[in-house]
Structure 1
Amino acid sequence: MNAFRSNIPDKTFEKLNNNGEFTRLAVSPGIINKHYTPAQFQTIAKVVGETGAIKYSASYSILLSIPTVDVDKTIEELENASLYVAKQGPIVAMKACDFCDGDKMEAAPITEKLYHSLVGITVPTRLRVNVNGCASACYNAIYDDIGLVYQKDSFDVYLGAIPMGANAQAGTLFAKRVGVKHIDAFLKRIIELYKEHARPNEPFYKFYRRTKCADYWKDLI
């Protein structure tokens, strides 16, 4: 019965903020790596201590609630343990599959290049790019704002997913077989269109579904 005990957590982000200033950090072993080490869990437990909180998320990361005054020191400790601390705010964020635990790494180099090129770009509201390394798309790329499904030397690009809720829907195939040499510029153009034409705080799926018949999307293809 342990699965049904203590259903109401003593510490949530909201409860902690009612009693002091806390910051939430999203932590993972990396963009591709999904395996934590015992030492990394020990570091997580140490930096959270008795005052913070730990929660798993659906985005391949663990959420930590940390006293805001300790954030810089905490990030340094986590990074020294080879943990990745995701950037926060209305920016382009990226996640990816585990490339079959490293057995299918063909798309890994271009994924790393896209990360360094795109992550952190300021957008109207947080924009999630999800890269899956083969056509199986086990990590549900098509259910993120921009889903990239790798095919040989190219990507199929899906746009406009509604990721959660009663009306959740997969994105639609926007462009097929965009070559790896062109995918960076292709994605940057999509991001530019979002920044230029979105309404304030408009989620990407609402923006795309509202504007998908606009000429600038046809010109992009």
Structure 2
Amino acid sequence: MTLSLFNQFAPTYTLLIPSSTVAVFIPWLLFPTPTKQWLNNRLTTTQNWFIAQLLRELFLPIKPTGHKWALLFVALAMYLTFLNLLGLLPYTFTPTSQLSHNLGFAIPFWLVTVLIGFQDKPTEALAHLLPEGTPTPLIPVLIIIETISLFIRPLALAVRLTANITAGHLLIQLVAKGTLALLSIMPAVAILTTVLLILLTLLEVAVAMIQAYVFVLLLSLYLQENV
């Protein structure tokens, strides 16, 4: 029973091709497709509106020197959104449920923001490790604590995304198994659990989009501190 629950997080293969490999190259479908028409269709207009809102939320508090990251952050947000939603389809695999996958994105982005801060304004970057007005006996302890909190940021990013996606998928599968078991024994209760399953699926769709937004938002906050 326990192994069958976690089998959904194991990579699957179609025609000897890993589904995770296919998933990596498909998120470009979420990007607006340019057309030669004077007016965009409803889909392209909606996509452009969402991207504009995302850019405004992420880069409004950031200095103009950090706006060159806009395309990269939007691409990452679309990529994570697609992969999170991909796992809600039957017979699919969710790469963002793997901690190694999420660390592969969290560590490089976090490291680049830190290196930018030490390169452009090293004094302010080092000042973040020691709050102003700290008593002299507490200086070594606070420096160690702030250094640990700095290096734990990418791990927190990856674990947050992995835990939310994994927990949602496990809950949906548990409710689905319970509904299937109750269908022949207690049909009335099975109907209630089916309604609960539909609501959980809608909630998981929202969580998939929100977690991608939170991941990119925290990266933008790290960038804001270092530009």
Coarse TM-score class (shorter-chain normalised) = under 0.3
Question: What TM-score does the superposition give when structure 1 sets the normalisation length?
Answer: 0.23
Question: What TM-score does the superposition give when structure 2 sets the normalisation length?
Answer: 0.23
Query: Greater RCO between the two (CA within 8 Å, min separation 6)?
Result: 2
Larger strand share, 1 or 2: 1
